[in-house]
Amino acid sequence: MTEPNPPDTMLDRLRERLTPEEFPTDDRGRIRMVVDSLVLHLHPSKVPVTTIKWSYTWGLGGLSAVLMTILALTGIILLNNYTPSVPQAYLDILEIRSNVWFGELIRNLHHWSANLLIIVAVLHLIRVFLTGAYRPPRELNWLLGVAMLVLILGANFTGYLLPWDQLAFWAITVGTSIITYVPLVGESIGRLVLGGPEVGANTLLNFYSLHIALIPLGIFGLMSYHFWRVRKDGGLTLPKPVDPAPDPLTWQKPERVTTIPHLVRRELIYTLGWFAALLLFAMVVPAPLEGIANPDISPNPAKAPWYFMGLQELLLHFHPLVGAIIMPGLAITGLFLLPFFDVTSASVGIYFRSRRGRSLSLLALGLATLLTPAWVLLDEFVLDWVGWLPGWDSLISNGLIPLALIALGLFLLDGWAVKTFGADTEERVLFLAVFLFTAFVILTMIGIFFRGPGMALYLPWNMPAAVH
């Protein structure tokens, strides 16, 4: 290619520099475009045609990144209209609602994107789990992903307080009270996070700084690392047919197509589609806002943010140390250790590992759907450990004993899967994980929809209005 002479006038030279290059018509040009572009070179220049199928990844990782971008942009706009002090914070939210042009739209977008992000991030984690994409060499990226999920929950939780209304104040009060159950250091950590003995002006300032600086910095940092590692680990895992499972040695690698237009086009459509849906939703459904926070009047029931309702539900059934610390701690630890425990590489890229894995997952799904509500009802109305074992420490009677029973139940389920169906390691992991995750989702739903005043069980359509 010969370089053309630069144009004569400065204006022309400026124009030439700023007008986009012509869109390439051949694959060579398309590849060059990807490689030369700052944003696009996140992608490889060519991608396997099977990995860009909708039904393999569902675009969940990309959607998370899009939502993070929306959150960052709307967040910066909100920053300009917000003061993290009591009671100005609440007045500012009222001001955003009633006096700032498009203030309500921006706030709604921010609120709903944040809530959607939690769902999408969890679904992304599930997708990666179900296709076995966390296995070597992708262990590190799994860890980064789990760490980001924790940060996303942190960002949501800290953002929840900022409107400083009754909903925010009491949800954070309930949510942070869980911290104090950590043995030995719980009180100190609680005081550090809250900046005092209870939620107040210092908490607002702490949460504000976490929400607008520390956590976003962490998320965007990890996000870049996460993207880079995807490339370093050889791109996405390749989807494989379940039946017959291909031999890894003789299996034919799929055809590769150029990123432009095949991948970029779909990303653009997907982003536009979700943005349109989100925009419509944010225009129609306002983000909740209650009266100004009043530490003297607690609403009944006082619920944590919805994504922690599963935890709050556990707290209703177990001693706090077990329900709030041991069980979630085990879950997070399990997530972190998963890629070092389950390392089979043969089934990577196959949803649910195998035919048997699919059946076992259905079985686990059904069992958890049956057993979780049954156990909640049983514990609510029949089980009374503290009353049955008078004189025992409630940590043992209402914590370790039921925990041991549940562990025993899981052990029996596991043994059943091995003995009766001949499940191997990866299928056992899948079986138990599907069971536990379904149980957690059901607990969360019970907490959100079935708990009323006094945290008593109610049917959603008979739920009395919260008493303030």
Q: Does 386 bind other proteins (CB under 8 A)?
A: no
Q: Is 424 helix (H, G, I), strand (E, B) or coil?
A: coil
Query: Among candidates 59, 64, 60, 102, which has minimal Cα distance to 80?
Result: 102
* Peptide bond just before 299 cis, omega within 30 deg: no
Quick one: which of 72, 119, 276, 405 contacts other proteins (CB under 8 A)?
276
Quick one: which of 32, 97, 127, 256 contacts other proteins (CB under 8 A)?
97
Cβ nearer to other proteins, comparing 105 with 205: 105
Cβ nearer to other proteins, comparing 80 with 462: 462
* Segment contacting other proteins by CB under 8 A, of 37-45, 134-142, 224-232, 260-268: 260-268
Tell me the C-alpha to C-alpha distance, in Å, between residue 21 and each of 17, 40, 181.
9, 15, 60
- Closest distance to other proteins from the beta carbon of 223 (Å): 24
Cβ nearer to other proteins, comparing 141 with 203: 203
Quick one: which of 50, 51, 56, 104 contacts other proteins (CB under 8 A)?
104
Cβ nearer to other proteins, comparing 252 with 461: 461
Q: Does 56 bind other proteins (CB under 8 A)?
A: no
In the region spanning residues 147 to 186, those forming contacts with other proteins, defined by CB under 8 A, are none
Query: Among candidates 333, 437, 340, 428, which has minimal Cα distance to 135?
Result: 340
Radius of gyration of the chain (CA): 26
Quick one: which of 14, 217, 283, 331 contacts other proteins (CB under 8 A)?
283
Residue 384, amino acid: D
The H helix count followed by the E strand count for the chain is 20, 2
Q: Does 363 bind other proteins (CB under 8 A)?
A: yes
Quick one: which of 101, 249, 252, 387 contacts other proteins (CB under 8 A)?
101
- Closest distance to other proteins from the beta carbon of 261 (Å): 9
Q: Does 77 bind other proteins (CB under 8 A)?
A: no
Q: Does 387 bind other proteins (CB under 8 A)?
A: no
Instruction: Quickly list DSSP for 161-198.
Output: HTT-BHHHHHHHHHHHHTGGGSTTTHHHHHHHHHTSSS
User: Positive or negative CA dihedral for 108, 110, 115, 116?
Assistant: positive
CB 410 within 8 A of CB 439: no
Quick one: which of 381, 390, 391, 419 contacts other proteins (CB under 8 A)?
381
Q: Does 454 bind other proteins (CB under 8 A)?
A: yes
In the region spanning residues 333 to 362, those forming contacts with other proteins, defined by CB under 8 A, are 355-356, 358-362
Q: Does 456 bind other proteins (CB under 8 A)?
A: yes
Residue 123, amino acid: L
Terminal Cα-to-Cα distance of the chain (whole angstroms): 74
Q: Does 79 bind other proteins (CB under 8 A)?
A: no
- Closest distance to other proteins from the beta carbon of 347 (Å): 17
Structure tokens at 240: 């494989």
Structure tokens at 247: 């031999």
Q: Is 236 helix (H, G, I), strand (E, B) or coil?
A: coil
- Closest distance to other proteins from the beta carbon of 262 (Å): 9
Write out the H or E segment, with its range, that includes residue 19: none
Cβ nearer to other proteins, comparing 251 with 416: 416
* Peptide bond just before 241 cis, omega within 30 deg: no
Q: Does 415 bind other proteins (CB under 8 A)?
A: no
Quick one: which of 217, 269, 408, 412 contacts other proteins (CB under 8 A)?
269
- Cα 7 to the chain's mean position, in Å? 52
- Closest distance to other proteins from the beta carbon of 428 (Å): 14
Structure tokens at 386: 């503290």
- Closest distance to other proteins from the beta carbon of 362 (Å): 3
* Segment contacting other proteins by CB under 8 A, of 132-140, 149-157, 199-207, 264-272: 264-272
CB 74 within 8 A of CB 113: yes
Instruction: Name every residue whose Cβ is closer than 8 Å to that of residue 19 and which is 6 or more positions away in sequence.
Output: none
Residue 278, amino acid: L
Tell me the C-alpha to C-alpha distance, in Å, between residue 38 and each of 41, 224, 343, 418.
6, 13, 35, 50
Quick one: which of 7, 16, 27, 87 contacts other proteins (CB under 8 A)?
87
* Segment contacting other proteins by CB under 8 A, of 1-9, 236-244, 316-324, 451-459: 451-459
- Closest distance to other proteins from the beta carbon of 235 (Å): 22
Q: Does 83 bind other proteins (CB under 8 A)?
A: no
d(CA 451, CA 454): 8
Quick one: which of 102, 340, 341, 411 contacts other proteins (CB under 8 A)?
102
Q: Does 378 bind other proteins (CB under 8 A)?
A: no
CB 199 within 8 A of CB 169: yes
Q: Tell me which residues touch other proteins (CB under 8 A).
A: 87, 90-91, 94, 97-99, 101-102, 104-105, 265-266, 268-269, 272-273, 275-277, 279-280, 283, 291-292, 355-356, 358-367, 369-370, 373, 380-381, 420-421, 453-454, 456-459, 461-465, 467
